[in-house]
Amino acid sequence: MPSPASVIGNCKVEFDYDLFVIGAGSGGVRASRISSGLGAKVAIAEEFRVGGTCVIRGCVPKKLLVYASHFSEDFEDAAAYGWTVGETSHSWKTLIHNKDKEIDRLNGIYHNILDNNNVTLYQARATIVDKNTVRVGEETVTAKYILIATGGAPVMPDVPGIEHAISSNEAFHLEEFPKRVIVVGGGYIAVEFAGIFNGLGADVTQLYRSTQILRGFDADIQMFLSEEIRKKGIDLRTHSNPAKIEKTDSGLKVTLEDGDVLETDAILYATGRKPNTDNLGLENVGVELKENGAVKVTPESQTTVDNIYAIGDVTDRIALTPVAIHEGMAFAETVFGNRLRAMDHENVPSAVFSQPQVGTVGLTEAEAREKFGEVDIYKSQFRPMKMTLTGGTEQAFVKLIVDPKTDIVVGVHIVGADAAEIIQSVGIALKCKATKAQFDATVGVHPSLAEEIVTMREKFVAA
Ligand code: NDP
């Protein structure tokens, strides 16, 4: 393949690559693959493991741990369905070993994707030297375009004793299963890990600094999920935050801001993530950052330097793997496919793998009221059929938000088993701007939780 070249001023400049991607996570790998398919000569740098947060220490291992933790409840429920389960016990070591094997397998698949698409992998940290030059390990390479896809990393507040705390990164590799766990935070990661440790048998206390967990979610979902997770045995405390953490002979002593003292074996901070933009050399070339350190980009993911682009969590638009992948594909088509394309960040469905799950797409009620003034609300809370024999107290919740002027459904929020699976298809309906009348004209699948979405007829009227 001839060397990629560009005309700068009157000179023809030759580069080692058309594209140099920094960060081999979901977004970076997808952008590399598609760009290569469109004829670009591509290289990618990764300082840790190919696959990125989602595959190596995020969505994938997290979901495997969620599966593991659900069995305890399933064993209990099984008795009401006639099963004799006998004594059960759980081996954390086996779970972590099997999870690691699966992550190794996926890591191998990601390597193959790069190999099969002729993407050169540099297994080293890369920094930007100038707008066309990257230092990677001991080498210096040039590229016509640079794509920053470096993701984010957990942040922990500056609390005395924070060195005794772990983040989600370490939670996946604990040597021993902690019998008592404190989880700090009320976002996706905190809620998911509180559920994982609780299901696996730990005594879990979740501390949230403000009033309602899951900031930004619909208020009904926040309230409903809080109740459900408390019913499962998680000691969820709001307006509660650690003031200091001390190591003791029997574990950790955590003093809260209100003076309360808790003993625990592990304290997990899930207090947000920050974009990985430190020491990348961005200041060398004038790539501007937002106040929180995220890279500023146009809708087409172009930074303030014309040949440097950025996608995924490092841009802090919507920090979800499938969003990074879409942004990566849009980047490749824009730059190498000659088709200007911006990812559409509206109506992105997402799920929290809490127990029970949350599935959500579109606007919350508060956002819809702000945008449309009046809105129609449909809500349903009910006992899932599985609970009828077990006597379990778990409830499910479905909420629809409709713009009354157009009849378009602008938000759907679900709490219940398989909410993640359900919300995916509802996302298509919202993308198509489906109306409430079209939801109503859709025949329900019976008996299912999902049928509630198409069978609610009575508007909710506040008492
Ligand atoms: P979030 O930003 O969602 O939540 C951070 C939580 O920590 C909030 O409850 C916040 O409180 C609290 N917090 C922040 N700073 C402090 C502090 N100094 N002391 C105490 N509490 C604090 O971050 P996560 O780490 O949970 O997740 C990061 C992103 O990763 C998510 O936004 C999501 O996009 C993505 N993700 C998606 C998943 C999925 O799709 N299922 C799973 C996991 C992550 P407050 O509300 O008051 O700000």
- Going by alpha carbons, the residue nearest to atom 13 of ligand 1 is 271
Consecutive H or E run containing 408? strand 408-415
Determine whether the shortest distance from the Cβ of 209 to ligand 1 is under 6 A.
Answer: yes
Determine whether the shortest distance from the Cβ of 400 to ligand 1 is under 6 A.
Answer: no
Q: What is the pLDDT of residue 190?
A: 98
Say if residues 76 and 199 touch (Cβ distance below 8 Å): no
Determine whether the shortest distance from the Cβ of 273 to ligand 1 is under 6 A.
Answer: yes
Confidence of residue 295 (pLDDT cuts 50, 70, 90): very high
3-state secondary structure of 248: strand
Q: What is the pLDDT of residue 152?
A: 98
pLDDT tens-digit map of 229-264 = 999 999 999 999 999 999 999 999 999 999 999 999
Q: What is the pLDDT of residue 299?
A: 96
Confidence of residue 130 (pLDDT cuts 50, 70, 90): very high
| pLDDT for residue 339 is more than 70 | yes
Q: How far away, in angstroms, is 116 Cα from ligand 1 center?
A: 36
Confidence of residue 340 (pLDDT cuts 50, 70, 90): confident
Residue 51 Ramachandran class (φ > 0 left, ψ -120 to 50 alpha, else beta) = left
What's the whole-number mean pLDDT along residues 269-282?
97
| pLDDT for residue 9 is more than 70 | no
Q: Hey, what are 234's tokens?
A: 């998680």
Is residue 446 flagged as an active site residue? yes
- Going by alpha carbons, the residue nearest to atom 24 of ligand 1 is 272
Q: Which residues contact 317 (CB under 8 A, 6 or more apart)?
A: 297, 323, 327, 345
Q: What is the pLDDT of the chain when averaged over all its residues?
A: 96
pTM for the model stands at 0.96
Q: What is the pLDDT of residue 4?
A: 77
What's the whole-number mean pLDDT along residues 164-183?
98
pLDDT tens-digit map of 54-106 = 999 999 999 999 999 999 999 999 999 999 999 999 999 999 999 999 999 99
Q: Hey, what are 6's tokens?
A: 């560009």
What's the whole-number mean pLDDT along residues 188-195?
98
Q: What is the pLDDT of residue 1?
A: 53
State the catalytic residue, choosing from 173, 326, 345, 446. Answer: 446
Determine whether the shortest distance from the Cβ of 128 to ligand 1 is under 6 A.
Answer: no
